[in-house]
């Protein structure tokens, strides 16, 4: 090599077809056009097919009378209600089972996850067995098992298992006494709200005092006492304005009181037990991610083991745990759609099932259903991102 | 001068060695732990002996009819009688050797990949990915080379479960890699947005709505007369769904590669594809192999959902057998059997993934 | 240069794809082209459509599809079955997933009008009834207030149930399942007191119980349920073929032609029989071979044979002909003449 290019001179501009910027633009234009073309193609086919086959379109059907009855509804519903209302009934049922499932799975998952790390050999192995058994069996199978093999094998209403003749467990569901507020119950509610506000300020005050002086104040216990005793006092003073309707066997079934249908029970059991196995692993990984030095430092400070866990390990573990925990919550919500296998009236089973079939407007109904799940996903991830950001700020 | 004579070490106290010591240390070190141990033992006592009694001691193992079962314990006769259906669905008995051959062929081809010293891995992998699917397709579907045509509606049982899982996986991985690369393409915002939208859309909806769309609604979006096999459509749905999840796993791996690697590849003058496929992607995939296996486990379990759209996979055929008039009341046996089969596969894979994780944990150790 | 060429190619391709939608009314053409009829049936209802232990589909609804295949291809085996739940059935037909829906489906005005499908006839005149455990000692549906009722989702049954209980000011709790199998399984387990469905189905489902005698069908019939095959709108030719495949079976019964004597009857002097069997060629304009009805009768049988072997005396269901007898034998099955 005798000649060298001048190192200071600008390199020659590459021909434009080799310029990465232009290439990127061309490539994106091509891909976008491709996606648009496919989209147009599909939508045109759809419009054409709907028109040729005389299928009615539009969302007008939501106003029509539904005419079928529903097993469980959180809002007023009867057969004269509209299809639009079945959408909300299904949505609320989905939210109910997901919400309860998330709470139960979290509690169970944390217990199992911590038990997995227990120094007690037996407890640790049992937790490991739980995790390995339940997360390696398909959820649908677990749902079918709980429903057909457990809940439907409970005794019939005539031989109901009862607790003090107020709570009854049968294959048709769990029946509980229902509290009915009488006049004057408002005072109890008011007292509860007042106690809640008071404990909020109490906790804030005790935190500030701790920051300032280092003295501990049992704020948790005191606010708990406030929250229980104050409303209770008001309740007693106003003359116990609460009546209970107790379920009783009448004809074919128990009537009166609150009832929990077995479909909900089976779905909830399967969802929370299955998801808890994953949450337990998440929690374990989170705790293991906290360096051992933290535990040693806490011991050196003379913290009790339970305090170490609560004040040192868990808060730090939460930061690692929250992102995977979010996706478990999302999974649980989406998995609740398996309700359709056992007839729990959730969104997919009720709206994308019965309503779709009665109206025949598959495109609109499926679009609404999928939009709901997408929205729930977005809301949960949005909330968790916000929480995550808040937790992350603690770190310097 | 007195010599310092070494004395024999004292034995540790008897309560801290042997079984007693182990028990004291691991089960009864604090009152709380002792209580927990007793509670756990009680729970085990409540659950394990009755289950064993039902499943093994009092179970019926031989016979051909439901009357052969005493009903004191499990009736495994039910499983034995239906076993062929649980494994192959309605695949004609005379043709089942084709299924066995396909599976055996796959096992024989895949096994050498696990041998460390095997030199031709790359060629073998290419063979498995490019040639094997063609062979398997012709073997299973038939209609050529003198083989009888077997409609996919006759496929079922564990065989169908495996078909869906394996095909879903093989299709989802490359698609997932492309999506992940698209999502990481910072200099192409439109492409990135499209990939993000695709991934989030599929991850946001439940699999059963996807399966419903692919099984009965897809023809709405196609010109009349253009229609293809129901199983194939379910496979496409599953593959696209899993591809979105796979994309996120691969993206995690790409993010875990130190920036220096990207810069080094650039500095060597490698183009995008070369730097991706020769430098960054192999490292990223190695990082996320456990994640990929976990996705596969999830996919394997998710295949059970096809029963909702009327395909008779393992769980579907058990569910169908449960409503056979001659065999009513044995659903628990069916479920337990299905649970065992799924469990063996999933547990095996998760153990493999843990072993891989340990083995591959090189180079990035802190 | 390169870029512009590429752009042109891409946009041309995109336009070409977007423009290439299919023409209307192509079901019959598509069926002929692919060489078989895709038929949507119930995933498991003895007597109507259910796979036997070898996976072969049997039932009255199944035979209707086989009759159509016999008419179109001269071969009753050129049909493939898609098992569907009640919820999936209309979407599957609308979308083109299946060519005929023959799945004990009730003919109603909203289905004919709004769903974009057309019913071609009635294979079975049915009505909704109730199945109840004997030990509950209920003799009338009017005594069912407060009962828990198992029902299949997405059916007219579900709607009639709500209407009936509402009309008689009775309360009930529905338990809704996707498939008949689940419904009967949970009725058996005791999740509900009553199972409601079309009466023919109740008899079919009752034999799925461990002890069929433990349940009785109540006398009340609370609705009209004309069950029949349906097709997509927009292909009148296909509609006619499906409609007349059923009529041919009914006409054959009326004329005394069945699968065993079809060949001898070709020599019959009766002009109606000659026209039916294609001996006297008529201008039927259905677009199928002239011996279409002969093939149906020969390979599938006439209506009496089909009824008998699937749901009637020759089957475990043993349902009487009742309304489904021919019009001249006390029933209401009546087919227009072939001429």
Q: What is the pLDDT of residue B352?
A: 86
CATH code of residue B241: 1.10.3720.10
CB-closest option in A49, A135, A337 to B209: A337
Q: What is the pLDDT of residue B366?
A: 40
- Whether A184 maps to a domain, the answer reads no
Which residues of chain A are within 8 Å of residue B206 when distances are taken between CB atoms? 334-335, 337, 348, 373
Q: Which domain holds residue B172?
A: 77-91+150-360
Which residues of chain A are within 8 Å of residue C193 when distances are taken between CB atoms? 252-253
Q: Read off the pLDDT band of A233 (50, 70, 90).
A: confident
Give the chain A residue nearest B331 (alpha carbons).
Answer: A149
Bridge pairing between strands A242-245 and A248-250? unpaired
* Residue C133 · residue C188 · CB < 8 Å: no
Domain count, chain A: 2
Residue C84 bridge partners (DSSP):
C42
Assess whether pLDDT exceeds 90 at residue C245. yes
Q: Read off the pLDDT band of A337 (50, 70, 90).
A: very high
Residue C106 bridge partners (DSSP):
C227
- Whether A117 maps to a domain, the answer reads yes
Same domain, A42 and A144: no
Asked if A57 has any chain C CB less than 8 Å from its own CB, the reply is no
Q: What is the pLDDT of residue B1?
A: 60
pLDDT higher at A105 or A167: A105
Same domain, A307 and A375: yes
Q: How far is A374 from chain B (nearest CA, A)?
A: 5
- Whether B284 maps to a domain, the answer reads yes
- The three-state DSSP-derived secondary structure of chain C is CHHHHHHHHHHHHHHHHHHCCCCCCCHHHHHHHHCCEEEEEECCECCCEEECCCCCEECHHHHHHHHHHHHHHCCCCCEEEEEECCCCHHHHHHHCCCCEECCCCECCHHHHHHCCEEECCCCEEECEEEEEEHHHCCCCHHHCCCEEEEEECCCHHHHHHHHHHHHCCCCEEEEEECCHHHHHHHHHHCCCCEEEEEHHHHHHHHCCCCCHHHEEECCCCCCCEEECCEEECCCHHHHHHHHHHHHHHHHHHHHCCCCCCHHHHCCCCCHHHHHHCCCCCCCCCCCCCCCHHHHHHHHCCCHHHHHHHHCCCCCCCCCCCHHHCEHHHCCCECCCCCC
Q: What is the pLDDT of residue B362?
A: 60
Q: Which of residues 136-155 of A touch C (CB under 8 A)?
A: 148, 152-153
Q: What is the ipTM of this complex?
A: 0.85
Task: Name the helix (H) or strand (E) containing B259.
Answer: helix B259-267
- Whether B273 maps to a domain, the answer reads yes
Whole-structure pTM value: 0.84
- Whether B318 maps to a domain, the answer reads yes
Same domain, A344 and A299: yes
Assess whether pLDDT exceeds 50 at residue C20. no
CB pair distance less than 8 Å for C182 and A262: no
- Whether B8 maps to a domain, the answer reads no
Nearest alpha carbon to residue A153 among B181, C190, C116: C190
Same domain, A151 and A48: no
> What is the average per-residue pLDDT within C85-91?
82
> What is the average per-residue pLDDT within C152-178?
89
Same domain, A33 and A101: no
> What is the average per-residue pLDDT within C46-63?
85
Which residues of chain B are within 8 Å of residue A43 when distances are taken between CB atoms? 221
- Whether A287 maps to a domain, the answer reads yes
Q: What are phi and psi of A392, to 5 degrees?
A: -65, -25
Q: Read off the pLDDT band of C9 (50, 70, 90).
A: very low
Domain count, chain B: 1
- Whether B110 maps to a domain, the answer reads no
Euclidean distance between CA atoms A241 and C109, whole angstroms: 54
Q: Read off the pLDDT band of A395 (50, 70, 90).
A: very low
Q: What is the pLDDT of residue C25?
A: 52
Out of A33, A52, A71, a domain closes at: A52
Nearest alpha carbon to residue C152 among C117, C119, C212, C198: C198
Q: What is the pLDDT of residue C230?
A: 95
Nearest alpha carbon to residue B71 among B56, B83, B54: B54
Q: Using one digit for the tens of pLDDT, what is the confidence trace for A65-94? A: 888 888 888 888 888 889 999 999 999 999
Assess whether pLDDT exceeds 90 at residue C67. yes
B214 secondary structure, DSSP code = I
* Residue A88 · residue A346 · CB < 8 Å: no
CB-closest option in C33, C34, C95 to B216: C95
CB pair distance less than 8 Å for B224 and C207: no
- Whether A1 maps to a domain, the answer reads no
- Whether A362 maps to a domain, the answer reads yes
- Whether B5 maps to a domain, the answer reads no
Which domains occur in chain C, in start order? 27-125+227-329 (3.40.190.10), 128-223 (3.40.190.10)
- Tell me what the pLDDT averaged over chain C comes to: 86
Q: What is the pLDDT of residue C40?
A: 92
User: What value does the CA radius of gyration of chain A take, rounded to a whole number of Å?
Assistant: 29
Q: How far is B87 from chain A (nearest CA, A)?
A: 17
> What is the average per-residue pLDDT within A139-147?
92
Q: Which domain holds residue A36?
A: 23-52
Q: What is the 3-state composition of chain B as percent helix, strand, coil, each rounded to the nearest 5?
A: 75, 0, 25
Q: What is the pLDDT of residue C334?
A: 92
- Whether B224 maps to a domain, the answer reads yes
Q: What is the pLDDT of residue A179?
A: 80
Asked if B178 has any chain A CB less than 8 Å from its own CB, the reply is no
Q: What is the pLDDT of residue A8?
A: 57
Same domain, A98 and A41: no
- Whether A189 maps to a domain, the answer reads no
* Residue count (chain A): 396
Q: At how many degrees (to 10) do helices B157-183 and B96-110 cross?
A: 40
CATH code of residue A282: 1.10.3720.10
Q: Read off the pLDDT band of A215 (50, 70, 90).
A: confident
Which residues of chain A are within 8 Å of residue C111 when distances are taken between CB atoms? 360
Q: Using one digit for the tens of pLDDT, what is the confidence trace for C106-138? A: 999 888 887 888 999 999 999 999 999 988 888
Per-residue pLDDT of chain B (366 residues; tens, 9 = 90+): 667 888 888 877 776 777 777 777 777 777 888 888 888 889 888 888 888 888 888 888 887 777 777 777 788 888 888 888 888 888 888 888 888 888 888 888 888 777 777 777 778 878 887 888 888 888 888 777 777 788 777 788 899 999 999 899 888 989 999 999 988 887 888 888 899 888 888 988 999 999 988 887 887 888 766 667 778 888 989 999 999 999 988 888 888 888 888 888 888 888 888 888 888 888 888 888 888 888 899 899 989 998 888 788 898 888 878 766 677 677 788 889 999 999 999 999 888 888 877 777 665 444
Same domain, A268 and A316: yes
Same domain, A276 and A360: yes
Q: How far is C272 from chain B (nearest CA, A)?
A: 37
* Residue C245 · residue C286 · CB < 8 Å: no
* Residue B85 · residue B338 · CB < 8 Å: no
- Whether A368 maps to a domain, the answer reads yes
- Whether B211 maps to a domain, the answer reads yes
Q: Read off the pLDDT band of A9 (50, 70, 90).
A: low
Same domain, A123 and A35: no
- Whether A147 maps to a domain, the answer reads yes
């Amino acid at each position: 090599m005798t000649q060298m290019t001048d190192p200071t001179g600008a390199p020659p501009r590459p021909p434009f077809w080799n310029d990465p910027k232009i290439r990127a633009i061309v490539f994106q234009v091509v891909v976008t056009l491709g996606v648009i073309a496919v989209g147009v193609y599909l939508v045109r086919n759809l419009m054409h097919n709907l028109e040729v086959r005389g299928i009615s379109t539009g969302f007008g059907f939501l106003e029509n009378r539904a005419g079928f009855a529903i097993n469980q509804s959180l809002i007023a519903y009867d057969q004269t209600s509209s299809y639009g209302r079945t959408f909300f009934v299904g949505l609320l049922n989905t939210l109910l089972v997901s919400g309860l499932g998330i709470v139960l799975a979290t509690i169970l998952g944390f217990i199992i996850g911590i038990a997995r790390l227990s120094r007690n050999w037996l407890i640790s192995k049992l937790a490991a067995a739980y995790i390995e058994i339940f997360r390696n069996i398909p959820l649908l199978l677990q749902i079918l098992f709980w429903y057909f093999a457990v809940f439907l094998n409970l005794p019939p209403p005539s031989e109901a298992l009862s607790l003090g003749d107020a709570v009854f467990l049968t294959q048709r569901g769990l029946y509980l006494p229902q509290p009915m507020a009488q006049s004057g119950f408002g005072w109890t509610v008011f007292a509860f709200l007042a106690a809640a506000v008071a404990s909020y300020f109490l906790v804030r005050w005790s935190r500030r005092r701790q920051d300032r002086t280092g003295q501990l104040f049992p704020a948790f216990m005191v606010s708990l006492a406030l929250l229980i005793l104050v409303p209770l006092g008001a309740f007693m003073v106003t003359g116990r304005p609460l009546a209970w309707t107790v379920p009783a066997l009448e004809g074919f079934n128990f009537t009166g009181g609150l009832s929990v249908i077995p479909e909900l029970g089976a779905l909830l059991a399967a969802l929370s037990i299955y998801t808890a196995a994953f949450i337990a692993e998440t929690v374990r990984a989170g705790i293991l991610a906290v360096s051992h030095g933290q535990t040693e430092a806490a011991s050196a400070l003379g913290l009790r083991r339970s305090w170490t866990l609560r004040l040192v390990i868990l808060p730090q573990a939460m930061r690692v745990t929250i992102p995977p925990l979010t996706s478990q919550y999302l999974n649980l919500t989406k998995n609740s759609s398996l309700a359709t296998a056992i007839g729990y009236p959730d969104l997919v089973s009720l709206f994308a099932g019965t309503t779709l079939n009665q109206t025949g407007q598959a495109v609109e109904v499926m679009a609404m259903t999928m939009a709901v799940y997408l929205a729930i996903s977005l809301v949960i991830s949005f909330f968790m991102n916000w929480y995550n950001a808040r937790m992350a700020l603690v770190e310097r | 001068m007195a010599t310092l004579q070494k004395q024999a070490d004292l034995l540790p106290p008897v309560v801290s060695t042997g079984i007693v010591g182990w028990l004291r240390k691991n089960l009864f070190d604090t009152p709380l732990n002792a209580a927990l141990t007793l509670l756990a033992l009680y729970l085990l006592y409540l659950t394990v002996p009755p289950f064993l009694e039902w499943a093994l001691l009092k179970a019926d193992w031989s016979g051909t009819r439901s009357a052969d079962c005493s009903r004191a314990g499990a009736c495994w006769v039910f499983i034995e009688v239906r076993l062929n259906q649980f494994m192959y669905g309605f695949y004609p008995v005379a043709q089942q050797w084709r299924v066995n051959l396909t599976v055996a062929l796959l096992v024989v081809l895949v096994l050498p990949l696990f041998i460390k010293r095997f030199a031709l891995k790359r060629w073998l992998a290419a063979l498995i990915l490019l040639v094997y699917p063609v062979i398997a397709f012709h073997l299973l579907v038939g209609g050529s080379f003198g083989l009888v045509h077997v409609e996919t509606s006759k496929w079922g049982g564990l065989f169908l479960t495996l078909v869906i899982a394996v095909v879903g996986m093989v299709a989802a991985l490359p698609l997932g890699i492309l999506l992940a690369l698209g999502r990481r393409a910072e200099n192409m915002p439109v492409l990135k947005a499209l990939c993000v939208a695709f991934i989030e859309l599929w991850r946001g909806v439940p699999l059963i709505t996807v399966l419903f769309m692919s099984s009965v609604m897809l023809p709405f979006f196609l010109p009349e007369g253009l229609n293809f096999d129901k199983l194939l459509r379910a496979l496409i749905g599953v593959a696209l769904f899993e591809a979105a999840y796979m994309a996120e796993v691969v993206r995690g791996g790409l993010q875990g590669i130190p920036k220096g690697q990207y810069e080094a590849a650039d500095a060597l003058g490698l183009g995008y594809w070369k730097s991706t496929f020769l430098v960054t992607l192999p490292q990223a995939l190695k990082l996320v192999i456990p994640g990929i296996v976990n996705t596969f486990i999830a996919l394997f379990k998710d295949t059970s959902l096809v029963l909702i759209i009327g395909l008779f996979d393992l769980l579907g055929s058990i569910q169908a057998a449960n409503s056979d008039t001659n065999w009513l009341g044995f659903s628990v046996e069916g479920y337990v059997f299905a649970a065992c089969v799924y469990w063996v596969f999933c547990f095996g894979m998760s153990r493999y993934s843990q072993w891989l994780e340990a083995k591959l944990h090189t180079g990035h150790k802190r | 240069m390169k870029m512009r060429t590429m752009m042109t190619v891409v946009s041309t391709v995109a336009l070409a794809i977007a423009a290439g939608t299919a023409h209307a009314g192509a079901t019959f053409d598509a069926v002929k082209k692919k060489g078989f009829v895709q038929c949507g049936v119930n995933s498991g209802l003895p007597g109507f459509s259910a796979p036997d232990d070898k996976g072969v589909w049997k039932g009255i609804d199944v035979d209707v599809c086989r009759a159509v295949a016999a008419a179109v291809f001269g071969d009753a085996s050129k049909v493939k079955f898609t098992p569907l739940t009640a919820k999936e059935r209309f979407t599957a037909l609308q979308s083109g997933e299946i060519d005929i829906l023959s799945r004990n489906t009730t003919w109603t005005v909203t289905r004919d009008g709004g769903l974009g499908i057309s019913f071609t006839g009635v294979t079975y005149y049915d009505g909704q009834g109730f199945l109840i455990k004997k030990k509950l000692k209920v003799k009338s549906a009017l005594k069912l207030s407060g009962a828990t009722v198992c029902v299949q989702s997405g059916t007219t049954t579900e709607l009639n149930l709500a209407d009936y209980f509402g009309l008689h000011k009775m309360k009930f709790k529905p338990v809704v399942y996707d498939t008949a199998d689940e419904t009967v399984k949970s009725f058996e387990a005791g999740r509900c007191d009553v199972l409601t469905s079309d009466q023919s189905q109740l008899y079919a489902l009752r034999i799925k119980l461990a002890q069929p005698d433990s349940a009785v069908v109540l006398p009340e019939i609370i609705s009209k349920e004309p069950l029949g095959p349906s097709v997509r709108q927009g292909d009148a030719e296909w509609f006619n073929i499906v409609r007349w495949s059923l009529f041919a079976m009914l006409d054959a019964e009326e004329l005394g032609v069945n699968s065993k004597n079809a060949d001898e009857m070709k020599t019959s002097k009766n002009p109606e029989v000659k026209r039916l069997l294609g001996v006297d060629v008529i201008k039927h304009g259905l677009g199928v071979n002239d011996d279409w009805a002969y093939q149906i009768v020969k390979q599938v049988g006439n209506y009496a044979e089909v009824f008998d072997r699937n749901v009637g005396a020759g089957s475990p269901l043993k349902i009487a002909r009742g309304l489904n007898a021919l019009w001249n034998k006390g029933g209401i099955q009546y087919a227009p003449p072939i001429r």
